[in-house]
Structure 1
Amino acid sequence: MNRWRSFITAIIIVVALLGNVSAAYSQQLPQQSSNCEYFTETRHWVCGEFLDFYNTRGGLETFGFPLSSAFDDPARGLRVQYFQHARMELHPTNPDPYKVLLGLLVDELGYRFPAARPEQIPAFSSSFHHYFSETGHVVSYAFLDYFREAGGLDIFGYPRSEFMYENGYIVQYFQRARMEWHPENPSGPQMRLTNLGEIYIERFNVPREYLQAEPAQNRVQGGGTEGGGQQEPELSVTKLNVSASVRYAITGRQGTQTVFVYVNDQQHRPVRGADVKMVVHYQSGDQRYDFEPTNDSGFTKRSFEIQSSPPGQKVVIDVTVTYSDFTSTTQTFFLPWL
């Protein structure tokens, strides 16, 4: 009788221990929220607090598409996720609504500008100008309107510059974003945000395992997937990477030149069917040429006769590539000599 009692007692102890181990293990597993959305454009999931923040604080216009999975960043001690325009950070000990904050990417990327000069500071703030004494910069006109309408300090942080002219556009830097004014787009949003998330990923080498495309199957508790036989959706193009080169860097004053163009997407995959044009700038005037659409390798080329040019004067070639709603430009050149 005592043997049976001891045996039953041992079984009860083992079951209790296994229950505790199972409970501890389940707490260590990543409890995946059922509140998830899959972005086929970049093949990444956004879940839980990050998805709530995404949907309620501006969505695609403010953050762009996700570029990484959510992961624990040991350098920051935080769970983070990268998007085209931003980095979301989960601060679980913060009070609502500050559990999700955006990283100060402009500061981390090292963009620094002198404070506003005294004559640039308005005598008082108005609907046209606001001086931020915290960083010594002024936000004005369309930039101030967008700042106030699209989230203010929570989304953009304090200004880090005045508005300025860069790469063909008027822009302004904030701690968390860089605004670009596009007046040439009257029927759509004229204020756009720079892809600072992409720039940060490329500059600071975010681990590649977090950037790899995630499967599209339905997520279940514990971070697993179900429906393994589902077909992966086609990955959409969200960015064009264009490179151009010439056959001859130095040429005669006459002859034939050839321009080679390669077009890849945000995942460095070839883009087929892109429209490519170029403008060759001579001292005597511009010459414009169309290319054949890019092939399966994202490649196209165009040959042309060189116009007579002064020896030693660089001939610049502007290349413009359009695919769907995306446009990208690049330059190359050659030098007529003899």
Structure 2
Amino acid sequence: NAHGGVTQFGYPISNFELQDERIVQYFQRARFEWHPEHARGERVELTDLGSRYFRVHSEAPGRLLNNGDIPQTILSLHASVFTEEAVKGLEGEQTIYVLVKDQSRQAVPSAQVTFTVQLPTGVQQTLKAKDLTDGTGMVAIRFTYKSDKPGIVLIRVEAVYDSYKTHTRTFFRVR
């Protein structure tokens, strides 16, 4: 229901079927495809029936809009954060990667990302990524750290685009 549910897509009108080497299911107003190669939570996609219709009926490709002609309306942000290494020494360098997407799981370029690093001692350091997210919604930051004791280094992330903001976090262990 978070994505429209019955109101938007209607009820199923077919069982699962194998078409074009994909598992698909038809609904009253949609067709969904299973993509096992995608990340968990992103494996079901709405079929692009418009482009498919153009191909099947040999319509003039010039009549299709380029994806760049369709404005991206951002209504909310979602961020994912990853560390380069899960376990590090008491001092060294670490790289953090952040991926920012919108409500449709489309990359959000030009988002500003800020990181707050909290060492096991409680000491905090706030870092702003020098670059904005790129065309894939990705930005990375490499930083040095030194901890006097082993434990968890908590990384809090804030991504901002226009008036939208999202937070996430990750950690790595130092020993």
Q: Which interval holds the TM-score relative to the shorter structure?
A: 0.5 to 0.7
After superposition, the C-alpha distances for 1:222-252 in whole angstroms (9 at most, x for unaligned) are: xxxxxx9585531212222211111121111
How far apart are the structure 2 equivalents of 1:335 and 1:65? 36
Once the two structures are TM-superposed, the CA of residue 66 in structure 1 deviates from its matched residue by: 7.0
Which residue matches 1:317? Answer: 155
How far apart are the structure 1 equivalents of 2:154 and 2:138? 21
How far apart are the structure 2 equivalents of 1:233 and 1:66? 22
Q: 1:248/1:233 Cα in 2 relative to 1: closer, same or farther (>3 Å)?
A: closer
Q: In percent, how many aligned pairs have the same letter?
A: 24
Which residue matches 1:250? Answer: 87
Give the letter aligned to residue 88 of structure 2: T
Residue correspondence of structure 1 range 225-264 to structure 2 within 5 A: 229=63, 231=65, 233-264=70-101
Answer 1 or 2: which has greater strand percent.
2
Residue correspondence of structure 1 range 100-115 to structure 2 within 5 A: none
Once the two structures are TM-superposed, the CA of residue 71 in structure 1 deviates from its matched residue by: 3.9
Which residue matches 1:22? Answer: none
**TM-score, length basis structure 2:** 0.63
How far apart are the structure 2 equivalents of 1:301 and 1:233? 28
Which residue matches 2:117? Answer: 280
How far apart are the structure 1 equivalents of 2:9 and 2:101? 27
Give the letter aligned to residue 155 of structure 2: I
CA contact (8 A) 1:276 1:319 kept: yes
Gap regions ≥5 residues in structure 1: 1-63, 82-201, 216-227
After superposition, the C-alpha distances for 1:177-225 in whole angstroms (9 at most, x for unaligned) are: xxxxxxxxxxxxxxxxxxxxxxxxx69x6x724xx5979xxxxxxxxxx
Pairing 1:297–2:160 present: no
CA contact (8 A) 1:249 1:335 kept: yes
Once the two structures are TM-superposed, the CA of residue 320 in structure 1 deviates from its matched residue by: 0.5
How far apart are the structure 2 equivalents of 1:327 and 1:258? 22
Once the two structures are TM-superposed, the CA of residue 332 in structure 1 deviates from its matched residue by: 1.0
Gap regions ≥5 residues in structure 2: 14-27, 31-40, 52-61
Which residue matches 2:23? Answer: none
Once the two structures are TM-superposed, the CA of residue 65 in structure 1 deviates from its matched residue by: 9.8
Give the letter aligned to residue 134 of structure 2: N
Q: 1:305/1:74 Cα in 2 relative to 1: closer, same or farther (>3 Å)?
A: closer
Which residue matches 2:10? Answer: 72
How far apart are the structure 2 equivalents of 1:213 and 1:323? 31
Aligned residues: 135
Answer 1 or 2: which has greater helix percent.
1
Once the two structures are TM-superposed, the CA of residue 321 in structure 1 deviates from its matched residue by: 0.4
Which residue matches 1:267? Answer: 104
How far apart are the structure 2 equivalents of 1:213 and 1:235? 19
How far apart are the structure 2 equivalents of 1:67 and 1:295? 32
Task: Please state whether the residue corresponding to 1:314 is helix, strand or coil.
Answer: strand
Ranked by relative contact order (alpha carbons within 8 Å, sequence separation 6 or more), the top structure is: 2
Residue correspondence of structure 1 range 1-338 to structure 2 within 5 A: 70-74=8-12, 208-209=46-47, 229=63, 231=65, 233-282=70-119, 283-291=121-129, 292-311=131-150, 313-337=151-175
After superposition, the C-alpha distances for 1:262-305 in whole angstroms (9 at most, x for unaligned) are: 11222322211000001011224210000120111211111111
Give the letter aligned to residue 116 of structure 2: V
How far apart are the structure 1 equivalents of 2:122 and 2:164? 32
How far apart are the structure 2 equivalents of 1:299 and 1:235? 17
Give the letter aligned to residue 300 of structure 1: V
How far apart are the structure 2 equivalents of 1:69 and 1:214? 21
